[in-house]
Amino acid sequence: MSAAGPPQGANASLGGSAGHAVTSVGALSQSEFGKVAVLMGGASAEREVSLMSGRGVLKALLSRGVDAHAFDPSERALDELKREGFARCFIALHGRFGEDGTVQGALELLGIPYTGSGVMASAISMDKVMTKRIWRFEGLSTPAWAQVSSAAQTHAAFAELGAPMIVKPAREGSSIGFTKVLSADQCDAAYALAAQHDVEVLCEQFIAGDEVTCPVLGPADAPQALPLIRIVAPDGNYDYQNKYFTDVTQYLVPAGLPAGEEEAIAELVCRAYQVLRCRGWARADVMIDAITRTPYLLEINTSPGMTGHSLVPMSAKAAGTSYEELCVQLLRSATLDARSIP
């Protein structure tokens, strides 16, 4: 079990901008982007959600005159992108082999610009333990944690972190393999469930309070936060089902937080985005301690969902940007790591 010390303070110097990014998108010609592949599906545990995201993005791009085509990397070799003349890719893949740097690395080798973060930022952000280590080093607040590799270590983490404790795979999303542990007798099952999805398992201090999410757009050196969304799930259970397949979760935007809190959290999230060298877009999840009102960074998603229940389009709409405009704006930001090398 790797120790992880107490949570770090949120009063570090913060960069970025809490201003809401809104870009107007007019009529497009197909020549602006060339032939575009919307990468969707894939082989991860989030395949079903990725297909929903990809279909939405594809429909939006086609409605704006973009020469866009569906492309499922689990069914076709990526080198077909080059052979078929695709000029850029919109990555609507979620989870492993989609937002963990692997597809990004392949597209770098193929020389095809893509949406979202580059290879390193994607790989680090997918790994919750590595992400938390960097945030902690940079003085950004994140809940205390322990990385475990056995049920016995999970019990030890519970004794250290207390109840409730969150147990989840280190490299999965959408609450897959997630357990909120309330008593020690749940540790064995919680570890077994998380270990089904990853050899690296994260035990994390639970922060009781408001749950919010903050999307960010733009390059690492000039991130722009979109409006925060406060998430109110049944009994606080914002699981896979309540995220994508029910209508019982409430999404509040404006978030209705006390004066100054939204701006402070947006600045914190922009700084979290910067230190990981994210680009294009991302969405960070934050818990606000109910007593101290301290915000704690949980994780960052560098290929957020674009389904009917997804939060980035919801936040963008609150800022005056339609789903279609958002998709075109993201496609326009497609680039390569190699382009930043002198």
299 in catalytic set? yes
174 in catalytic set? yes
- Given the residues 191, 244, 273, 323, select the one marked as catalytic: 244
- Given the residues 210, 305, 323, 325, select the one marked as catalytic: 305
- Given the residues 174, 242, 310, 315, select the one marked as catalytic: 174
283 in catalytic set? yes
**Given phi > 0 = left and psi -120 to 50 = alpha, else beta, which region is 256?**
left
How far is Cα 162 from Cα 158, in angstroms, rounded to an integer?
5
- Given the residues 72, 285, 324, 337, select the one marked as catalytic: 285
46 in catalytic set? yes
Token pair belonging to 233: 């799930």
- Given the residues 136, 230, 277, 283, select the one marked as catalytic: 283
- Given the residues 122, 301, 303, 333, select the one marked as catalytic: 301
13 in catalytic set? no
- Given the residues 16, 46, 100, 127, select the one marked as catalytic: 46
44 in catalytic set? no
How far is Cα 300 from Cα 308, in angstroms, rounded to an integer?
20
280 in catalytic set? no
Alpha helices in the chain (DSSP H): 47-63, 80-83, 102-110, 119-126, 128-137, 151-161, 187-195, 240-244, 261-275, 311-318, 323-332
How far is Cα 145 from Cα 342, in angstroms, rounded to an integer?
39
Asked whether the beta carbons of 82 and 110 are under 8 A apart, the reply is yes
267 in catalytic set? no
**Which are the catalytic amino acids?**
46, 174, 244, 283, 285, 299, 301, 305
